[in-house]
Amino acid sequence: MKGFFKTFFASLLAIVFAAGGLALFVMVLFGVIASMSQPVPQVANGSVLVFDMSATVQDRPVGMTRDAIMDEVLGGEGQRSFSLLSLKRALVAAGKDNRIKGLLLTGSFSTDGYGSGFAALKEVREAIESFKESGKPVAAYLVYPSARDMYVTAAADTIYMNPEGVVSDTGMSMSYPYLGGFMKKYGIGVQVTRAGEYKAAAESFVLEGMSEPSREANAAVLEDFWSEYLAVIAAGAGIEPELYERKLNELGMLVAKDALELGLVDELLHTDELIAKMQAVSSVDETSHSFVQTSLDAYLPATVRPEYSSDGFVAVIYAEGSIVNGEGKDGQVGGSSLAREIRQARQNDKVKAMVLRVNSPGGSALASEVIQREVRLAKEKMPVVVSMGSLAASGGYWISAYADKIYAQPNTLTGSIGVIGVFFNYEELASTHGVNFDTVKTTKHADLMGQFRAKTDREMALVQRQVDLVYDSFLTKVAEGRGLEVSAVAEIAEGRIWSGADALELGLVDELGGLGDAIAFAGAEAGLGETPAVMELPKAKNFLDDLFQNVSKQTADASARGALQPLVDLYREASEMSSRFNDPKGVYAVLPYTISID
């Protein structure tokens, strides 16, 4: 009878949440239908294309997610996103479009997840330069530009700035959160082991600041990134890089007047004065009394459509996010799910070549190996090329090593060939709330992977053995994939991160270039030419999948509520930080879980 009531109430709860989800679905459905009935935006003839950069530039295709649909229904703005490939195509197409008379860059990039990294923005800047080859003017209007904005708008012919604006570029920094103090405070035990002197990912959980090897590697990479950035900004302004750096050291942030004197901007204008400038490029819009314009958001669907080809496709497969075991969640690379995408692509007779676009700090060693296996099988059938985005390190390098050719940008962060073991336990946290664990087992190490107690020295030695074996395997695979001696790989491994420029010199990548270069090479190798038709995978996420996943999560969360809710909440808060650490052996090829370069 007890089991009956438990099942009955659980089912009732599920029905309640399902009903709520159905109501939400109906509301969303009507909203979608209403939005679909609205007129499709038209490209105004003789207009200026306005690229509002207030968005995230991500690698993977952009889908209509639940959040986007809700923003549409409720009238909110939400977080805008562009996929890199679509954005580049639109800018290049606009340069050849007789309806477009010029390009205006406004707004400020956002950095959701792994989006809007400098390597991706380098390709955006190059697409703008391609637009300029048409002879059409490119202008930028800045208010509070970040370093990312400055990096892209340096390609403009003319840069205007609001007289009260500020250049919020104060230099570049690399920041990691260190949770050692937090873990101690809340009684979360962390035991780590590693292979590689520079492998710093584990340090985030046990230290309160950078180790010296980590600081050395980070400083070297940052110096390369900063040099490339300075060269771009200085070339756009027509000044020496040292002058810009000196001004930042003197003044911190530059006000509009400073930027004008330095040559970073060409003229200080208010918005009404900018409109007059743009009216001279296009004409006066009689309805809005502004200038004739087309937003890039409207131009994208009007120009970028699915590609068809009887000759075949280059499959562009995106590995964007941390690599986890299993299917993975939104913003993660699931080992099983991505391996399945690669497998289906290589089994598709229409796919003649493959480009793996990697923008990942790595993660589970097992998941990385599952993905790499499919990459190697694909290579037996077709050319396989890797395009490294802003971040392709550790497990991200693991899945790249066997490609026929690897492209990276000078400001790609790569390498980190090393392995760590990370093990959390909640013994102290649970004890604080009156929860104790007791165990019976059949063998001495039956509870080795449990999270309810700390591991003994003997058990940590056993874990270190696993870490060393995986590290040896990592070195061997890189050596084999790159055609290097294992000893040579060992010298540049040790978990050390490298810039794309250094990685080229070390033999870890083959050529500096972006996603477009990788696609062109893959297409040529497959006999499809340098502008092949492209099939992007995984496909953009469907909002219905997102909706039903959210309803299921709500139901599961509700079933956990009860007298132990305070402890459950504490446990979830702590375990959320380690959710990406789901390798069954506790062994990872991963960068520190958060990295910020600004």
Question: Which member of 387, 394, 400, 416 is catalytic?
Answer: 394
Residues of the chain scoring pLDDT < 70: 1-41, 64-78, 304-306, 541-588, 590-598
The per-residue pLDDT for 24 is 52
The per-residue pLDDT for 423 is 85
Using alpha carbons, select from 239, 227, 154, 233 the residue that is nearest to residue 411. 227
The per-residue pLDDT for 167 is 95
Mean pLDDT score across all residues of the chain: 85
The per-residue pLDDT for 178 is 85
Active site residue 553: no
The per-residue pLDDT for 571 is 45
The per-residue pLDDT for 2 is 44
Q: Give the span between the Cα atoms of 360 and 413, in whole angstroms.
A: 10
Question: Which member of 199, 247, 477, 541 is catalytic?
Answer: 199
Active site residue 199: yes
* pLDDT tens digits, one per residue of 115-172: 999 999 999 999 999 999 999 999 999 999 999 999 999 999 999 999 999 998 989 9
Q: Which two tokens stand for residue 71?
A: 């923003």
DSSP string, 503-526: HHHHTS-SEE--HHHHHHHHHHHT
